[in-house]
Structure 1
Amino acid sequence: MDTQVVDARISPNGSLDVLSRLEVTKLLNASRGDLYPLFRNSSLAVLNYGDYLDDGRELLERYKSFDIRVIQEERGIKLDLRNAPASAFVDGKMIRGINEHLFAVLRDIVYVDDTIHNNPRFDLSTSDGITNAVFHILRNAGIMRPRTNPHLVVCWGGHSISPTEYDYSKEVGYELGLRGLDICTGCGPGAMKGPMKGATIGHAKQRLYTGQYLGITEPGIIASESPNPIVNDLVIMPDIEKRLEAFVRVGHAVIVFPGGVGTAEEILYILALLLDPANSRIPLPLIFTGPAESAGYFDLIDRFITETLGPAARQMYRIIIDDPITVARRTLEGVHQVHQFRLKTDDAFYFNWMLHIDPSLQLPFDPTHAGMRNLNLHKDQPPHLLASNLRRAFSGIVAGNVKDTGIRAIEEHGVFEISGDAGIMEPLDSLLAAFVEQKRMKLPTTAYNPCYRLIAQ
């Protein structure tokens, strides 16, 4: 286990170059007060690029002596790092992309705490207030490109995928890049890295030099999904719900590659949106795809969706197996439909304001043992609300698998108990068992012990 560390003092490149004294004071407070643990842990995850541990707690324990502080100078700020992972440096200098990601962490954490959480203008108990906050966080990060036509494709999929699945995601990304489409992912390894890597080649062949490779993450997951080196725009949202909303607000189409419970959570989130009658007119193309070896995986997903949410949910997506060119063509067609709809309705190209998101998808879900036990997993509710509650169940399993707080909660109180109708629990049990068998719960080098127990009522 390589735990070589270095000390360094680094300067920002970009948005934090020029600061007022008041802004410097706020940044100083971030490295000294209540925000410090969040700032430290997220920064460590960024610095740990390339060493994917699949366990947020393991990373924190491996680098217990790591420390990071904001240093004030007359010309602005610097970051003082002690015992930082040596892999973030080349010949004594920090890799430029990691430097940018590190200051993005500082930018977003301070902005959210100072401008969003402590500002009466943002009512985070209401749907409109949450959407307004998501918009301002993204705008502050500078990721919106208002004077361009829609062309941002959100790619979801697992960090624990096979080499064949990873190579396939690169091929799809390449075909998307050839067609001038940009990529947005959860910023980590696996199916989050592959499409970006392929798109860089496609863009290069078309001599497109302004490609956007947007990574959207949140503090609870960043330690197990450190930003990959291709990400050129990084945003840290406050929680998983705002992260998911950010994806669907800025994206113009969604492609889902094979994955595990995190990917299933994302699928259920977008199905909850598409099944909501309030969104029946709004186009949001959704494609599931993978290589030939993944056909069985999507059969499982398709069966689970049909058995739990009904046949109407099956009409919300298209499954395309082992055909990157068709995936790219259908995606481009979908993006053109989105373009025409936004023109007709006078909605912004860079932010989907018209999309209705139910509060059950927006209000943060704390995956405590009580919260998981009390989930409403019964069929006596509209399909879009059932999808929302199933999303929360998968979110809790993600927390128990890889998040520091979730892992500690399982160790202290035992596994999560998830109960519901037999017609939901049985398909859920089959899907989760397949994830375990196919080693999709955690990285293949990691033994998996379930963090949940299913109870059919």
Structure 2
Amino acid sequence: MTHASAGHPAISTVSARLAPAPGLDILSRHEVARLRDASAGGLHPLLRRCALAVLTQGSDSDDARALLERYPDFDIQILQQDRGLKVELINAPAQAFVDGRIIRGVNELLHAVIRDIVYISAQMEAEAFDLDSSVGITHAVFEILRNARVLRANVDPNLVVCWGGHSIPRGEYDYTKQVGYQVGLRGLDICTGCGPGAMKGPMKGATIAHAKQRRRTNRYIGITEPGIIAAESPNPIVNHLVIMPDIEKRLEAFVRISHAIVVFPGGVGTAEEILYLLGILLHPANAAMPFPLIFTGPRESAAYFEQIDRFLRLALGDQVGERYRIIVDDPAAVGREVAKGVERVRSFRLDNKDAFFFNWALQIEQDFQVPFRPSHEAMAALNLHRDQPAHRLAADLRRAFSGIVAGNVKEEGMRAIERFGPFEIDGDREVMQALDAMLASFVVQQRMKLPGTRYEPCYRIRVD
């Protein structure tokens, strides 16, 4: 079926009824009713938004609202039948199908969406998660990851998390593939935010390396959250998708399951991730813990990391530089450094009798765990002054970047900016000047939105 939606050329859609993918065979009547409930408190709007993101893998848009507007007639319904579960897709994007049959990988990710939405909703409704304590939040993250079956016991540390921008130039994207290749040659798996750009490249490079090494049980884990998935649809290589309830639990999931983290050039989302991790690593309780962290990019990106390094040292002090290493234009060196770092992690976990699959020992304070709702009032109230411990300043700087991400690509944040104007950000004069300069460079380098999209800043920084 082909139809034209308002403001868009004709697009092809398919309607189909699917059998469940492995791991999602039955749901209770109550769970099905919640997924079909389109009211304000129901799960259907969330299901529809996340399902559409999965069905449009490889989308060239990072505007969550534009995706829904392009497929206004799309719907998904969960049917409980005598012989089990069925998923009905109505006017679904044709790109998810081949000769009328849904692509297997797309179907698996679609059912991962249903699995996580149902599980998290049921746990929240039953008040099974203790979200009022730091320990309780960590256990909630663990339970969600365990339910998604991404935690593997009796496996040596081998998971490398890769962070970086969804909007990066071709040279940087090719470099992420080269690094992924070197990491894959060393028998390591990849976890990213699941979208395009620097989230896709390392997985693509690793698939070739894994094929050369004849590895057959490879993990390409994508961790996302409802507010971002429609703006960063899962890339086609992801074979384990996890949808966390919010950005803070998504970030904690990354650092709890990773054995090393590689950061490629990016924009405000990448800066948010960097500040989140460094804020945790700067906590005195984590001082002795090995945590390999590498910033890397091609030669033309050297200035990007120099600017990031200057900003971090200015805001958090020179000691922050001890927690990361910058490697420019040398994918093999990154691979070697990651492998050595993972081995240090293995030895440390053995000595401290900590699990390989989940970093229980890492101290994460509630400042980094409690969801931040980036309203105009909350953004204006952030404490961005240096007269406080570095890890606490990092926590609020992370929130500032989180608010900008919301204003750039999340539906709720974009609507708030349209209604009330840009977020106001204020703080230490030198830090604000450096922040303003860094964000301006992101705009010039087209790191805020996908190339070809005109960027209107969603923030205003006071530098007087």
Q: TM-score, normalised by structure 1?
A: 0.98
The match for 2:23 is 15
Contact 2:32 2:80 in 1 (8 A): no
Listed one character per residue, the Cα deviations across residues 34-87 of structure 1 (whole Å, up to 9, x for unaligned) are 111111111111111111311111111221211111011122111111111111
The match for 2:34 is 29
The match for 1:296 is 303
The match for 2:91 is 83
Contact 1:24 1:77 in 2 (8 A): no
In structure 2, C-alpha distance between the alignment counterparts of 1:172 and 1:7, rounded to whole Å: 40
The match for 2:80 is 72
Q: Using a 3 Å threshold, how does the CA distance of structure 1 residues 2 and 243 change in structure 2: closer, same or farther? A: farther
Once the two structures are TM-superposed, the CA of residue 315 in structure 1 deviates from its matched residue by 1.3
Matched positions, count: 453
Listed one character per residue, the Cα deviations across residues 97-136 of structure 1 (whole Å, up to 9, x for unaligned) are 1101111111001100102x12334210110110010000
- For the pair 1:38 / 2:46, whether they are aligned, the reply is yes
Contact 2:219 2:240 in 1 (8 A): yes
Once the two structures are TM-superposed, the CA of residue 2 in structure 1 deviates from its matched residue by 5.4
- For the pair 1:150 / 2:176, whether they are aligned, the reply is no
The match for 2:373 is 366
The match for 2:269 is 262
In structure 2, C-alpha distance between the alignment counterparts of 1:100 and 1:121, rounded to whole Å: 27
The secondary structure found in structure 1 opposite 2:452 is coil
In structure 2, C-alpha distance between the alignment counterparts of 1:380 and 1:323, rounded to whole Å: 38
Write the letter of the residue equivalent to 2:281.
L
Contact 2:32 2:79 in 1 (8 A): no
The match for 2:289 is 282
Contact 2:164 2:264 in 1 (8 A): yes
- For the pair 1:200 / 2:213, whether they are aligned, the reply is no
Contact 2:187 2:210 in 1 (8 A): yes
The match for 1:211 is 218
Aligned residue among 56, 62, 65 for 2:64: 56
In structure 2, C-alpha distance between the alignment counterparts of 1:284 and 1:417, rounded to whole Å: 34
In structure 1, C-alpha distance between the alignment counterparts of 2:129 and 2:78, rounded to whole Å: 27
Write the letter of the residue equivalent to 1:334.
G
- For the pair 1:4 / 2:12, whether they are aligned, the reply is yes
Correspondences of 1:112-123 after superposition (within 5 Å):
112-115=120-123, 117-123=124-130
Aligned residue among 436, 447, 457 for 1:440: 447
In structure 2, C-alpha distance between the alignment counterparts of 1:75 and 1:32, rounded to whole Å: 22
Contact 1:27 1:106 in 2 (8 A): no
Once the two structures are TM-superposed, the CA of residue 433 in structure 1 deviates from its matched residue by 0.5
Once the two structures are TM-superposed, the CA of residue 208 in structure 1 deviates from its matched residue by 0.5
Contact 1:52 1:225 in 2 (8 A): no
Contact 1:218 1:243 in 2 (8 A): yes
The secondary structure found in structure 2 opposite 1:230 is coil
Correspondences of 1:349-364 after superposition (within 5 Å):
349-364=356-371
Listed one character per residue, the Cα deviations across residues 400-440 of structure 1 (whole Å, up to 9, x for unaligned) are 00011111111111111111110210110010010001110
Write the letter of the residue equivalent to 2:36.
S
Contact 2:449 2:455 in 1 (8 A): yes
Once the two structures are TM-superposed, the CA of residue 3 in structure 1 deviates from its matched residue by 2.6
Q: Using a 3 Å threshold, how does the CA distance of structure 1 residues 299 and 113 change in structure 2: closer, same or farther? A: same
Contact 1:24 1:76 in 2 (8 A): no
Correspondences of 1:40-439 after superposition (within 5 Å):
40-115=48-123, 117-439=124-446
Over the aligned positions, Cα root-mean-square deviation in angstroms equals 1.1
% identical equivalent positions: 61
Once the two structures are TM-superposed, the CA of residue 325 in structure 1 deviates from its matched residue by 0.5
Once the two structures are TM-superposed, the CA of residue 145 in structure 1 deviates from its matched residue by 1.1
Write the letter of the residue equivalent to 1:309.
L
In structure 1, C-alpha distance between the alignment counterparts of 2:356 and 2:185, rounded to whole Å: 21
In structure 2, C-alpha distance between the alignment counterparts of 1:38 and 1:99, rounded to whole Å: 18
In structure 1, C-alpha distance between the alignment counterparts of 2:226 and 2:60, rounded to whole Å: 16
The secondary structure found in structure 1 opposite 2:88 is strand
Once the two structures are TM-superposed, the CA of residue 384 in structure 1 deviates from its matched residue by 0.5
Greater shift in the superposed pair: 364-373 or 3-12: 3-12
The match for 2:4 is none
In structure 2, C-alpha distance between the alignment counterparts of 1:142 and 1:124, rounded to whole Å: 22
In structure 1, C-alpha distance between the alignment counterparts of 2:65 and 2:243, rounded to whole Å: 19
Contact 1:42 1:219 in 2 (8 A): yes
The match for 2:3 is none
Gaps of at least 5 residues in structure 1 are none
Gaps of at least 5 residues in structure 2 are 1-8
In structure 1, C-alpha distance between the alignment counterparts of 2:412 and 2:118, rounded to whole Å: 22
In structure 1, C-alpha distance between the alignment counterparts of 2:212 and 2:32, rounded to whole Å: 41
Write the letter of the residue equivalent to 1:56.
A
In structure 2, C-alpha distance between the alignment counterparts of 1:145 and 1:229, rounded to whole Å: 23
Write the letter of the residue equivalent to 2:98.
V
Once the two structures are TM-superposed, the CA of residue 31 in structure 1 deviates from its matched residue by 2.1
Once the two structures are TM-superposed, the CA of residue 24 in structure 1 deviates from its matched residue by 4.7
Write the letter of the residue equivalent to 1:16.
L
Greater shift in the superposed pair: 105-114 or 32-41: 32-41
